Chain A
Amino acid sequence: EAGVAQSPRYKIIEKRQSVAFWCNPISGHATLYWYQQILGQGPKLLIQFQNNGVVDDSQLPKDRFSAERLKGVDSTLKIQPAKLEDSAVYLCASSLVTSGGSYNEQFFGPGTRLTVL
């Protein structure tokens, strides 16, 4: 079974530039998450999709970050304009949606390391 794919793996940009990250989840996983992981911290949720609908984007800085999941499969996360504090690893994860009360094991991609200069 193929895992979660992300690209690019690394990106270096200057502040105020824009950048986009791509994620392809495990086939059949309805739920997709984007996390931000700053060095030395645990992953922090940015946005969560179920199929192509947004479930939770309460921690997404909407003035500069946007995300979409067209057709309920691949997803793109965009930052425009980037700030220095956006330097982090952006992780994509997916999980199966099961009936209520089930645990949510998440499968993570390798991440995209973003450096903003």
Chain B
Amino acid sequence: SQKIEQNSEALNIQEGKTATLTCNYTNYSPAYLQWYRQDPGRGPVFLLLIRENEKEKRKERLKVTFDTTLKQSLFHITASQPADSATYLCALDSGYAGTALIFGKGTTLSVSS
């Protein structure tokens, strides 16, 4: 069966540093990989999507890479701020319209000032 792992449950960094979160998967060939942010008591919010034929995607201070050979995606937040503190979830997307996502457990990021 498919397996998706986010290798750190928690990541603590100082303000201004770059946070790097890792997502690995097995037994699956997603067409897309999505990243969501989840704050306590709230539902996940979509951040970024990267397609299987893309190596890198950027949005403001966020950058996502996707290596289909390694079956890995890296999610970077540059110049991190305390407001970036949240849980970040990666999700596998088959690319077929209307299919459900397969989520990882998430990594909880804490940015201290």
Q: How large is the interface on B (under 10, 10 to 19, 20 to 34, 35 or more residues)?
A: 20 to 34
Which residues, 1 to 44 on A, are CB-close (under 8 Å) to B? 4, 30-31, 33, 35, 40-44
CB pair A99 B34 closer than 8 Å: no
**CB of B49 closer than 8 Å to a CB of A:** yes
Answer whether residue A73 sits at the interface, using C-beta atoms and an 8 A cutoff. no
B residues 35-79 in Cβ contact with A at 8 Å = 41-46, 49, 51
Tell me whether chain B's interface is mostly helix, strand or loop, or mixed.
Answer: loop
Inter-chain contact total with CB atoms closer than 8 Å: 77
**CB <8 Å contact, B34 and A105:** yes
Q: Which of B89, B101, B103, B104 contacts A104 (CB 8 A)?
A: B101
Report B-chain residues with C-beta under 8 Å of the C-beta of A100: 96-97
| Given contact pairs A105-B49, A106-B46, A40 touches B98 in the complex (Cβ within 8 A) | no
Given A42-B89, A44-B103, also A101-B44 (CB < 8 A): no
Please measure, in the bound complex, the distance between the C-alpha atom of A50 and the C-alpha atom of B34, giving whole angstroms.
21
> Which of chain B's residues have a CB closer than 8 A to the CB of A104?
32, 93, 97-99, 101
The answer on a CB contact under 8 Å between B97 and A40 is no
Contacting residues, chain A, for B31 (C-beta < 8 A): 101, 103
Cβ-closest chain B residue relative to A49: B98
Give chain B nearest CB distance to A94 CB in angstroms.
Answer: 11
Map CB proximity to A onto B91-113 as digits: 1 under 8 Å, 0 otherwise.
10101111111011110000000
CB of A48 within 8 A of CB of B46, answer no
Q: 23 interchain pairs (CB within 8 A)?
A: A40-B9, A42-B89, A42-B103, A43-B44, A44-B103, A45-B100, A55-B98, A55-B99, A56-B100, A93-B43, A97-B97, A97-B98, A99-B97, A100-B97, A103-B34, A103-B49, A103-B93, A104-B98, A104-B99, A106-B44, A106-B101, A109-B43, A113-B41
Closest 10 CB pairs of A and B: A108-B43, A42-B103, A45-B100, A31-B98, A103-B32, A97-B98, A105-B46, A43-B103, A42-B105, A108-B44
- List residues of chain A with CB under 8 Å of any chain B CB: 4, 30-31, 33, 35, 40-45, 48, 50, 55-56, 91, 93, 95, 97-111, 113
